[in-house]
Structure 1
Amino acid sequence: MRIITTISIFVVAFAANAQTIDANSTNKKKAIKMEFFSPLTGNTTIGYESYIKDWLSWEGKVGIIGLGTDNSDTNPSGVLLKAGPKFKLNPDFVTNDLRGSHLLGGKYIRPEIAFAYYNEDVVSFDGNSETKSRQDYTSVAFLITYGRQYILANIMTLDYHIGLGYGYDSSEEGKYNFGYSNGNNSFPVAISVGFTIGVLLK
């Protein structure tokens, strides 16, 4: 009787573990995303995330500067790049039959490099005359980003994040670089805030 009970317990435990493995294996491991509010800030930014292994994925973003509203009337044009590994923090919950949340879901830390190159109109005044010219800008930042990603029905992603780090841009005065803001040369702090929505892929 004890042998049968032991075998039964082993079978039930194995089945529960197998269900957990199957549940995780059905998770979609890639996603295409969009910075939802980026068009309102003068650019359209698209991202791609791919699962690498437990607790780790990779994410990159490409932004088209100028593809969005032009609030400052400077006609910006250029490109924005962001990339970095995404380290998932402890899952929200762990039970005997469920190993935490979705492979791409949960809280995370993402060290990332951001780069922007663009040009825009600059107005200068000489006495009573006004002169408009195009000015090129180059910007780079290293950010440590904290965020949380939600997975909806293994179909959609919702993600909010905030990053803080160091940055530099050629204006030397500090400005918004269509994906993050830099301080001036005497205070070279960079900051970014974002909200993405995406679609999961197999």
Structure 2
Amino acid sequence: MKKLFFSFAFLFISTIIFSQADTLFLQKNKKVACKIFEINDSEIKYKMAGNIDGPIYIIDKSTVTKYTLSNGFTELIMPDELSIEHEHKEIIGNRQVIKISPFGFAFNHISFGYESVIKVGMNLDIQAGYINSEINSDAAKMYSSGMNNSTHHAGFYFKPGVKFFLGEDFSIKGLKYAHPLKGRYIKLDLAVSYINFQDLSLVYYSQNNYPYNGVQTIRTVYSNLNTIAYGGFVNYGRQFILGNILTLDYYVGMGFTGQSETYSNPDFFTNPFGTNNQQYYYAGKERNYTSNYYGFLRIPTVGLSFTGGFRIGYIIPSKNLRKKPLTKN
């Protein structure tokens, strides 16, 4: 009987305490029964409802969605869109970016990229491009070299890599945070590029009777070329955040690549007039003199290669930030 009495007494006292308690409603649907002592612009100070004589707790106001006082008063806490805390909290929650190279069209390729945070300081960075000399035929003649000059060609390139950020940080109320998408970085990436050149031509001519009588026999041989270059690069770059919506980054890099090729015509380099006759190769003086693989530039026969880029990206909002904000009734 005594046990039953104490149980009822404890239940009664607990009911009185919690009925007189305030309530904090936190993000992720969490509640805290407490006694609120102070509310200012950035913090709320409170004690736990079951331990009024205990320590005072301080919680950042930006993590509270609303609070209810013991007298029934309720207030929704709307995030300040202009506050530094809200701005950086919003960006840090967004960890994926889709990118384009805005000047790619001028140089006969369309480039897309994707970046995702693996962990703080390390991001996955993937870039892919479609190549076609018909996108801007004037540029193909002006800026290309070797096999890429005045020939129809198409292909693609693919560059998967990992970014290592070099410690760009910012401060909020004395605490330092590393931004997952912003700062200087070193990027290690692999690269592969495939290009198909169409209607390459070699002009062979016989000089048995030339130039003595002015007679010249000419034969033109045609072939398509499939060429692949592959290798790795070390890049240095920097990425900026624009308006909490866009990223802007640039990078330069150097590495080594290998190269292979196949010709559709196996007799493309066979002189029909014999080895003692001169030949002229319209597309270059060497076999597969390809330097521009679009994802990178390669020095033929040497393998030393260079890359660089300028990209603009759209930050994909996280699922939490895509939810509608609370509104006052």
TM class by shorter chain equals: 0.7 to 0.9
| DSSP 3-state at the match of 1:73 | coil
Does structure 1 residue 57 correspond to structure 2 residue 123?
A: yes
Distance in structure 1 (CA, Å) of the matches to 2:62 and 2:184: 24
User: Cα 1:98–1:22, aligned 2, differ >3 Å: closer, same or farther?
Assistant: farther
The percent identity for this pair of structures is 26
> Which structure: greater strand fraction?
1
Alpha carbons 1:17, 1:97 under 8 Å: kept: no
User: Cα 1:189–1:98, aligned 2, differ >3 Å: closer, same or farther?
Assistant: same
> Given residue 120 of structure 2, which amino acid in structure 1 is its aligned partner?
D
Distance in structure 2 (CA, Å) of the matches to 1:17 and 1:174: 57
Aligned twin of 1:188: 303
1:108-127 alignment to 2 at 5 Å?
A: 108-121=185-198, 122-127=200-205
Aligned twin of 2:291: 175
Aligned twin of 2:100: 34
Aligned twin of 1:4: none
Distance in structure 1 (CA, Å) of the matches to 2:121 and 2:241: 15
Cα shift at 1:73: 3.3
Aligned twin of 1:151: 241
Structure 2 residues not aligned, in runs of 5+:
1-44, 46-55, 64-82, 141-148, 206-217, 262-287, 318-329
Alpha carbons 1:39, 1:69 under 8 Å: kept: yes
1:47-82 Cα deviation digits (max 9, x unpaired): 000111110110111111117323133221111100
Alpha carbons 1:20, 1:98 under 8 Å: kept: no
1:4-23 alignment to 2 at 5 Å?
A: 15=60
Cα shift at 1:130: 4.0
Higher relative contact order (CA 8 A, sep 6+): 1
User: Cα 1:170–1:44, aligned 2, differ >3 Å: closer, same or farther?
Assistant: same
1:119-162 Cα deviation digits (max 9, x unpaired): 11323221244444311101002000111111101101111100
Count of residues paired in the alignment: 191
Alpha carbons 1:20, 1:97 under 8 Å: kept: no
Alpha carbons 1:105, 1:151 under 8 Å: kept: yes
Q: Choose from 45, 52, 69 the match for 2:136.
A: 69
1:71-119 Cα deviation digits (max 9, x unpaired): 133221111100111111111655624525x421111111000001121
Alpha carbons 1:16, 1:97 under 8 Å: kept: no
Does structure 1 residue 106 correspond to structure 2 residue 169?
A: no
Alpha carbons 2:87, 2:244 under 8 Å: kept: no
| DSSP 3-state at the match of 1:46 | strand
Alpha carbons 1:169, 1:182 under 8 Å: kept: no
> Given residue 45 of structure 1, which amino acid in structure 2 is its aligned partner?
S
> Given residue 106 of structure 2, which amino acid in structure 1 is its aligned partner?
L
Distance in structure 2 (CA, Å) of the matches to 1:110 and 1:120: 31
Instruction: Give the TM-score taking structure 1 as reference length.
Output: 0.81
| DSSP 3-state at the match of 1:103 | coil
Aligned twin of 2:162: 85
Cα shift at 1:17: 11
- Which is further off, 21-30 or 147-156? 21-30
User: Cα 1:149–1:11, aligned 2, differ >3 Å: closer, same or farther?
Assistant: farther
Structure 1 residues not aligned, in runs of 5+:
1-7
Alpha carbons 1:60, 1:83 under 8 Å: kept: yes
Does structure 1 residue 201 correspond to structure 2 residue 316?
A: yes
Cα shift at 1:15: 3.8
Distance in structure 1 (CA, Å) of the matches to 2:103 and 2:220: 33
Structure (1 or 2) with the larger CA radius of gyration: 2
